[in-house]
Structure 1
Amino acid sequence: MFKKNQSQSNQDSSQESIQNSELNSRSSNKNADSLSQPPSSLKIEKSSKTKNFNIWPKRKSRQILLILFLLCCVFLGAVAVLTTYTYNIGRQVLSSGNEMVFSIQTANDQFKQQNLPGVEQQLLLAQEQLTQLSNQYQQLAIYNKLPWIKNYYQDGISGLTAAEHGLKAAIVAVKAITPYADVLGFEGEGSFEGGTTEDRIALLLQTLEMVTPELDEIESLLIQTEEHLSHINPERYPEKLRDVLIRDQIAQAQSTISQSIIIFQEFRPVVEQLPTIAGSSEPKKYLMLFQNNNELRPTGGFLTAYSIINLDEGKVIPEKSDDIYELDRRFNERIPIPESLGKYLTTERYWNLRDMNISPDFKKSMDTFFEHYQKVKGEPDDIDGIIAIDTHVLTRLLEILGPVELPGYGTFSAEIDPRCDCPQVVYALSEIITKPTPYLREDRKGVLGPMMQAILIKTYGAPRQHFSELFELVWNSIQGKNLQMYFVDDQLQLAAENAGAAGRMKAPEQGDFLAIVDANLGGAKSNLFTESEVLYLVDGPDNGFITATLEITYRNSRKADNCNLEAGQLCLNAPAPTWNRLYLPSGSQLIDALGFSQEPTTYEELGLLVIDGFFTLDPLGMAKIRVSYQVPYELPEYQLSIWKQGGVKPYKMIVDVNGNQAELLIDRDTTYEDRF
């Protein structure tokens, strides 16, 4: 019985164990299934301890969602309000800005019309509009508190401050020149309206030094303008927005003000030294040279004639004049002709004064010329400087002032003469000076002096509306090297160089450089009928070098004249033996040269490499030279400085940098920049 019961008990225990094992297995499987489900499917078993617990109470969830919704509404509302506010202020700023720009453009138009009161009125109006614009813009000061956006807001403040200084500089400049309005050919209540033009010029020179404080203020304002513009980083802005080149315009504004400061600082010594140059404190004596650019030479033309003039308080008093051959006749020095010139100018054994302008650098040539001129007997020993002009200056003077009559010589004008399809003054002077005659013509020796005196008399009596044209002529002639100056006094020479009036050629510190210098060594006046064009190809950079290919095409448009002396006819056009020199950056290496009559030579001069060659251009003919060379180059972008020879007509030049072409008109020294 006991065993039976024990056995039964064992059986019950065994069954219970099996049941517990099954329950454990089911529980284990249930737990495994529960773990394998995603968190969202987890079920929380209720017990007496967890009966009322919930992780996200419904009421609290609704409160949080409501708060988030309200915050979004507030944010969106604030954005909407700020956007509307910004839009309205932006419209006001844009409107005021357009009004200010219109006033500045109107001031510029008034200046072109020589109306100084109108210029000042529009500048003052623009200044008021700028104040209104600044006040409106400052209503957006909230953006100065926002990260990232504040940079753009501060750029606007910098631009407005720069505009304020720039406008003030313009107003000070206008007020500074207003007293000279009459003399300068402007409308306005000038201080020099009484007396003759000579009297007004004398008074102007005496009072010029009084404008020095205004010059100081203008320079200071320009520097402040540059400083504020420099705070703007163009790289923060897109290159283009609705076809407007935003980034380039910002960079251009910064570059323009920087260049303006450089020009102002370089030109200021001219204003300060002008009274001295014009003989305000004591009379000055100058040697005036006439360079005939129709017979081109390195400084601008063949030295045809000369004159001695005195300047006393701005009044020009001619002393004497003669042709260059008479000066050479009295030059007793027998200097062997330099080899560089003599190998091409084979008709001369000795170096004459008329051929001493062989350097394209006007100062260097005049150093040589003046040294030997002082040895000529009968010439003044108190010369203060040299002023050189060419036929372009004479022609433009006659275009502005009208014809002049010279007793014993006839009438000279700028009208086109059908005998040469050139200005009448050019043909008439050529007849007087160069036409062969079977008799001795004394009248050919002194034409320059009387002509300049007649032109000056007409200038002094000209209506004041011509004065601005005359000042423009002087400025353009200086930039084109049709008018060049050389002074014995170092300070006056420095002033001329700073104004670009000294005809200097200086090697650039960096970048590419090109100067084309031609000399007509016996081709009559054939440059009158010669045109040229230039193609300049640049490849690279590669291993610290760029490769340049220069192609120059010369064309003569007129048939040859009868230049036989026995024929006694005027010889203007004949085959032109041409000495050609190309000035390139130091360290350049010649690769190939075509079109020269013989192999060109290379050497260093003026801190530059020179390629020296020779060719002949025939009437109705064409000549082409093509030169390839390497230039050491380290700048990340391409920069080319083009030096224009004095006396050369403006010519077209195509620059191609790795396939990107640009067409330039070279009528003065020019700088071109491009990306590689």
Structure 2
Amino acid sequence: EKIVPQLDAVTAKLSVANEELKKIDPNDYPEQIKGKEVRARILQAESLVSDATLALTDAKPIIEVLPELLGYPNFKQYLVIFQNDGEQRPTGGFMSAFAVLKADKGKITAEKSGDIYSLDDKFGRNVAAPEIIQKYLDEKSWHLRNMNLSPDFRVSMTTFKDAYDGLQGETEVSGVIAINTHVLEELIKVIGPVTVEGYGTFTTELDARCNLSQVICELEHMIDKPLATMVSNRKSTVLGPLMQQIMKQAMGGGKEQMASLFTLAMDLVKQKHVLAYFDDEKEQKANEIFNMAGRIKDFDGDYLHINNANFGGAKSNFYITQEVEQEIQIAADGTVTKKLYISYSHNQPMDNCNLEDGDLCLSGIQRNYFRVYVPKGSVLTEGLGSEVEIDTGEDLGKTYFDGFFELRPESKAKVMLVYTLPFKVSNGQAYKMMIQKQAGEKEISYKVNLNGKEENFIVNEDLEKSWQVN
């Protein structure tokens, strides 16, 4: 309660400073005076103040409920789920491991951890799997590990937590927080190598065994590679101790490290590498305003969300990149026709995925189920690149087109969709578009061609664009 008014005052002062700094042209100053940087310092100051102003403004909703979230006056416990983005799923990755964090008056401790299969072993309900799971994973029952099927994190976690809450002997939690491999990598880049007793040291150096950072490669060896010499519960207990050590090193750093961690945290949220769902409606509302809730949003205009799910394709997404191209034609009567091209490149040689050989299988044949969410009422006129017929459906207030294909290592695939939008755009109007990035996805190169005018940009967070129609 004491922090928020002070936060408003600080934000107001930063806004004033930001406006004043905007009046300064760095090019009016020399690069150096007596060997000391001048122009670079001005640019740095402008960037820092601008970033700080945006960060505090964006963070205010969650800061207002921070005391409750941190366990004041009553402690709270949260389920932290590790979504492995190497095996992409609708909310960011395969839910492979979990830990329980306890927040008690600001002190955070890891209470327990395990793998998702230990939860599935306790799930006694015989729930029929959705058609997608039955078709592409060949599983008749719906397991907890596959319950993040909706691209909307709240929808998925409502389903998942309802199942989790019914498990006997598991900790009662007030919410679910999801992180992925990118979070671990970026944290270790800031705080330095992390040593966890009994598990070894984790770094971000390139590991030739996997062509990934050492921390990810080592965790994959612990989780996925069958080793006779490894204790049976090692994979199911690593997440808790690792998180505890990361928190210890994060809190033990100086002011400069804390500032870097704050900026990193904001970036990880914006880029959807950290998601959260809370039972408490006030906390969830703040979470959604803060844009950490992973919601599929309403938008008045054109809309695009490309959602991929890896169903049985190993951890191939570590090595797959995407490019997206949109060709938009507006006819004289205002009818909007779009051609959407989604290109996939699998950039790694095939691993030995014969389970009997006991090798680590990360790069395999990608089995990709895709859904492309567009404005409700859009009509598909042509679709190519799917090995099954591309269907049309409605979900989350949108129309979607879905299909499936396999992508072998060191090869490419392309999906093309042609569709008309449910509204018209007149000459002189602004053509507005929202692009929502899939949680856990790497940055994607986009190209938009609107009536012959082309723009290229990178999408690594939700983005709104606008073009004038001439």
> TM-score normalised by the shorter chain: which range applies?
0.7 to 0.9
TM-aligned CA distance change 1:274 to 1:218, over 3 Å: farther
Query: How do 1:650-669 and structure 2 match up within 5 A?
Result: 650-669=443-462
Structure 1 CA distance, aligned partners of 2:108 and 2:55? Answer: 29
Instruction: Give the partner amino acid of 2:166.
Output: K
From 299, 311, 318, give the equivalent of 2:91: 299
From 436, 440, 443, give the equivalent of 2:234: 443
Structure 2 CA distance, aligned partners of 1:433 and 1:557? Answer: 23
Structure 2 CA distance, aligned partners of 1:217 and 1:671? Answer: 26
Instruction: Give the partner amino acid of 1:469.
Output: S
Structure 1 CA distance, aligned partners of 2:196 and 2:455? Answer: 47
Residue 211 (1) aligns with residue 1 (2): no
| SS of 2:367 mapped into structure 1 | strand
Shift, 1:429, TM fit? 0.5
Query: How do 1:552-631 and structure 2 match up within 5 A?
Result: 552-631=342-421
Residue 364 (1) aligns with residue 159 (2): no
From 189, 195, 205, give the equivalent of 1:415: 205
TM-aligned CA distance change 1:450 to 1:584, over 3 Å: same
Aligned to 2:193: 403
Structure 2 CA distance, aligned partners of 1:437 and 1:282? Answer: 43
Contact 1:481 1:646 in 2 (8 A): yes
Structure 2 CA distance, aligned partners of 1:262 and 1:590? Answer: 39
| SS of 1:633 mapped into structure 2 | strand
Instruction: Give the partner amino acid of 1:299.
Output: T
Shift, 1:269, TM fit? 2.1
Contact 2:4 2:60 in 1 (8 A): no
Aligned to 1:431: 221
Aligned to 2:328: 538
Q: Over residues 145-201 of structure 1, what are the superposed CA-to-partner deviations in whole Å (9 max), with x where a residue is unaligned? A: xxxxxxxxxxxxxxxxxxxxxxxxxxxxxxxxxxxxxxxxxxxxxxxxxxxxxxxxx
Using CA pairs under 8 Å that are at least 6 residues apart, name the structure with larger relative contact order, 1 or 2: 2
Aligned to 2:127: 335
Contact 2:336 2:424 in 1 (8 A): no
Residue 648 (1) aligns with residue 441 (2): yes
Shift, 1:391, TM fit? 0.3
Query: How do 1:8-407 and structure 2 match up within 5 A?
Result: 207-211=2-6, 214=9, 267-346=59-138, 348-381=139-172, 383-407=173-197
| SS of 1:527 mapped into structure 2 | helix
Query: How do 1:457-476 and structure 2 match up within 5 A?
Result: 457-476=248-267
TM-score by length of 2: 0.88
For the aligned residue pairs, the C-alpha RMSD in angstroms reads 2.2
More strand by share: 2
Structure 2 CA distance, aligned partners of 1:218 and 1:357? Answer: 42
Aligned to 1:201: none
Contact 2:55 2:266 in 1 (8 A): no
Shift, 1:342, TM fit? 1.9
Q: Over residues 594-616 of structure 1, what are the superposed CA-to-partner deviations in whole Å (9 max), with x where a residue is unaligned? A: 00001111111000001011011
TM-aligned CA distance change 1:215 to 1:504, over 3 Å: farther
Task: Extract unaligned runs of 5+ from structure 1.
Answer: 1-205, 226-259
TM-aligned CA distance change 1:215 to 1:385, over 3 Å: farther
More helix by share: 1
Contact 1:208 1:275 in 2 (8 A): no
TM-aligned CA distance change 1:542 to 1:280, over 3 Å: farther
Structure 1 CA distance, aligned partners of 2:465 and 2:365? Answer: 34
Aligned to 1:672: 465
Structure 2 CA distance, aligned partners of 1:521 and 1:652? Answer: 24
Structure 1 CA distance, aligned partners of 2:289 and 2:321? Answer: 31
TM-aligned CA distance change 1:380 to 1:534, over 3 Å: same
Structure 2 CA distance, aligned partners of 1:647 and 1:542? Answer: 40
Contact 1:267 1:495 in 2 (8 A): no
Shift, 1:446, TM fit? 0.6
- Count matched residues: 431
Shift, 1:313, TM fit? 2.6
Contact 2:436 2:461 in 1 (8 A): yes
Structure 2 CA distance, aligned partners of 1:474 and 1:328? Answer: 31
TM-aligned CA distance change 1:216 to 1:634, over 3 Å: farther
Moved over 6 A (4+): 215-219, 260-266
Contact 1:295 1:525 in 2 (8 A): yes
From 296, 321, 324, give the equivalent of 1:505: 296
Instruction: Give the partner amino acid of 2:197.
Output: P
TM-aligned CA distance change 1:215 to 1:472, over 3 Å: closer
Instruction: Give the partner amino acid of 1:280.
Output: Y
Structure 2 CA distance, aligned partners of 1:212 and 1:663? Answer: 37
TM-aligned CA distance change 1:281 to 1:620, over 3 Å: same
Q: Percent identity?
A: 38
TM-aligned CA distance change 1:539 to 1:446, over 3 Å: same
Structure 1 CA distance, aligned partners of 2:132 and 2:234? Answer: 35
Structure 2 CA distance, aligned partners of 1:261 and 1:603? Answer: 41
Structure 2 CA distance, aligned partners of 1:414 and 1:581? Answer: 33
Shift, 1:341, TM fit? 2.8
Structure 2 CA distance, aligned partners of 1:535 and 1:486? Answer: 33
TM-aligned CA distance change 1:338 to 1:498, over 3 Å: same
Shift, 1:369, TM fit? 0.2
